[in-house]
Structure 1
Amino acid sequence: MADSIILNIYGPHNDQLKQKFWDSLDNIMQVDIDDWVFCGDFNEVRRRAERKNCEFIESRAKMFNDFIDKANLIEIPLGGMKFTRISDDGLKYSKLDRFLVSEACYASWDGISACTLDRDYSDHCPIVLKDMNNDFGPKPLRIFNNWFEEDKCDDLI
């Protein structure tokens, strides 16, 4: 990646502030940078399936999805747990945490993936972005001494 901007997000809870928040992120993206990574707690879901035992408000999800579409962002699929936040009583589940990246970032970062980690100290699961295409160079040659005991080893070499 060339120049990149990574923003850690903590979205507002207040309904009136959500649209202002999406608009402010859109304004920030007017900087002449192609590679954007937004990560963190957006405090919003994109679809009904991202909530369990709690209220889904379609208009708020639509505002969030409209921001993602307008900004041409791509959500990195999250492996691991389906939900990233669990209520204190353990009955309500939501997927509030995610990674959103620009199309240019996604295209230049082949092998990008994300996963949740175990939730130990918070009501949210930590999420990790990683590059699965690690190139450590050529594989080393491995020879076992017992191969030299084979009759045809000299001919093969």
Structure 2
Amino acid sequence: MQVDVDDWIICGDFNEVRQKSERKNCEFIEYRAKMFNDFIDTSHLIEIPMGGMKFTRISDDGLKYSKLNRFLVSESGLASWDGITVCTLDREYSDHCPIMLKNSANDFGPRPTRIFNNWFEDGKSDEVIKATWGVNIRNPRADC
């Protein structure tokens, strides 16, 4: 992968939403959203879609919700970093949910399997392997 000097990412709390659906129980000011969208368009930025929670800020009383945090990437950067995704994390200490940028295009091969010798000492390991061989395991968070 070759990264160009024109490839860049901007992230953070922009204190603004792009559309009315990014607010709940909050005032939506259309001209401010238009100014923010115009900035994104004239800067040739693209927002990376976010998985996980819809809103990134929750008021202290838990009644107001907004999507203020986001990652914006240059058009050329999007091509260079094919496979990047954004996911919200659980909110614990702040009124904002942390957001994480991941590069899911990296393939490091299969994860190594660890087997400890004591698993085979009780003689029941064959039964466990046969019982679980055909079980289909799915990731519960497919959006991250």
Is TM > 0.5 for Structure 1 vs Structure 2?
Answer: yes
TM-score, structure 2 length as denominator?
0.73
Map of 2:122 onto structure 1 = none
The structure where helix makes up a greater share of residues is: 1
Higher relative contact order (CA 8 A, sep 6+): 2
Per the alignment, residue 73 of structure 1 pairs with: 45
Cα distance in structure 2, aligned partners of 1:50 and 1:98 = 12
**Over residues 62-98 of structure 1, what are the superposed CA-to-partner deviations in whole Å (9 max), with x where a residue is unaligned?**
0000000000100000100000000010000000000
The 3 A distance-change label for structure 1 pair 92 and 71 is same
Letter in 1 for 2:37: N
Cα displacement (A) at 1:138: 8.3
Instruction: Give the % identical residues.
Output: 77
> Which residue in 2 is equivalent to 1:108?
80
- RMSD of aligned residue pairs (Cα, Å): 1.9
The Cα of 1:135 is off from its aligned counterpart by 2.1
Distance 1:86 1:138 in 2: 38
1:137 and 1:92 mapped to 2: Cα distance? 43
* 1:42 alignment partner in structure 2: 14
1:132 to 84, 104, 107: 104
Gap change, CA 1:139 and 1:118, over 3 Å in 2: closer
Aligned pairs for 1:80-99 within 5 A: 80-99=52-71
Structure 1: which 5+ residue stretches go unaligned?
4-32, 141-157
Please give the secondary structure, in 2, of the residue aligned with 1:35: coil
Structure 2: gaps of 5 or more residues: 113-144
- Provide the secondary structure at the position in 2 that maps to 1:45: coil
CA displacement at 1:139 relative to structure 2:
9.0
The corresponding residue for 1:57 is 29
The one-letter amino acid of 1:119's match is: R
- How many residues in Structure 1 have an aligned counterpart in Structure 2? 112
- Runs of 4 or more, structure 1, over 3 Å off, are 137-140
- 1:2 corresponds in structure 2 to 3
Identify the residue that residue 117 of structure 1 maps to in structure 2: 89
Alpha-carbon distance in structure 2 between the residues aligned to 1:129 and 1:80: 12
